[in-house]
Structure 1
């Protein structure tokens, strides 16, 4: 099993970062334009991609302006059973975001750890751009 950890600074309040990570209108600004989500522990966040690619993540921990934690329940890759964590810390220039994907099984039927890391780097850049400029680069179909 592998972990991916990435940290970045975003010039936005922790509350704005939180809503971009937890609410459908936020997620569609940086990840995919097909999202369903409910702001409640135990609910599923669903992110869809073309050709049937669907990610379903159960919200396992949630605190406005502080954290969003998901447990992956369905994925077109080897992500089932992994945990995705978004931890937010206020700083003078906005928010320090600590992203993690933990206990990730990769390589058998999905992407390599390098491909998965590169994908997250792309979408984390999209998240940062969305929050700082109002324009992210989500997957659109």
Structure 2
């Protein structure tokens, strides 16, 4: 029996008491408000943007797909200062998928980091960070106007 790696990829979802358009905006032009410092917002397929947490850590993502209900980024460069051997190589080529769905109580955001798997070097650190940034910082930013981005 072949194991489906799709089920091993890190995934989370969160119900946000906010309009679908506001969630989309937070994921495109307001990353600084809940995640980290960006060098520029992105608008279309092919755009590349960089996000950093100050210091030496940064990631560059290429926009692969973008619509009001689905955003997909590909990691094209990684420089992390977590001192974990192989962490940068592990991120390269991974896909970050955001699905935005309007529900009767707000918006459901589903996130999958395709390639971030339990056997990987980064899984413990990175899954914990995603849990915080998506289900806490982003949710708080959209519901209360106060995200918890990484220090700049």
**What stretches of structure 1 of length at least 5 have no aligned partner?**
none
**What stretches of structure 2 of length at least 5 have no aligned partner?**
80-87
Q: Any idea what SS the aligned residue of 1:36 has? A: coil
Q: Give the Cα–Cα distance (whole angstroms) in 1 for the partners of residues 129 and 18 of structure 2.
A: 22
TM alignment of 1:1-141, pairs within 5 A: 2-23=8-29, 26-64=30-68, 66-76=69-79, 77=88, 78-104=90-116, 106-107=120-121, 111=122, 113-124=123-134, 125-141=136-152
TM-score (norm 1): 0.88
Q: Give the Cα–Cα distance (whole angstroms) in 1 for the partners of residues 49 and 38 of structure 2.
A: 11
Q: Give the Cα–Cα distance (whole angstroms) in 2 for the partners of residues 32 and 43 of structure 1.
A: 18
Q: Give the Cα–Cα distance (whole angstroms) in 2 for the partners of residues 27 and 35 of structure 1.
A: 10
Q: Any idea what SS the aligned residue of 1:52 has? A: coil
TM-score (norm 2): 0.82
Q: Give the Cα–Cα distance (whole angstroms) in 2 for the partners of residues 33 and 58 of structure 1.
A: 16
Q: Give the Cα–Cα distance (whole angstroms) in 2 for the partners of residues 101 and 35 of structure 1.
A: 22
Q: Conserved in 2, the CA contact under 8 Å of 1:37 and 1:44? A: no
Query: Displacement, 1:56?
Result: 0.5
Of Structure 1 and Structure 2, which has the larger fraction of its residues in strand?
1
Q: Deviations over 1:61-114 (max 9, x none)?
A: 0002x111100111123211100000011001110110000023731xxx2x12
Q: Give the Cα–Cα distance (whole angstroms) in 2 for the partners of residues 36 and 7 of structure 1.
A: 26
Q: Give the Cα–Cα distance (whole angstroms) in 1 for the partners of residues 14 and 57 of structure 2.
A: 27
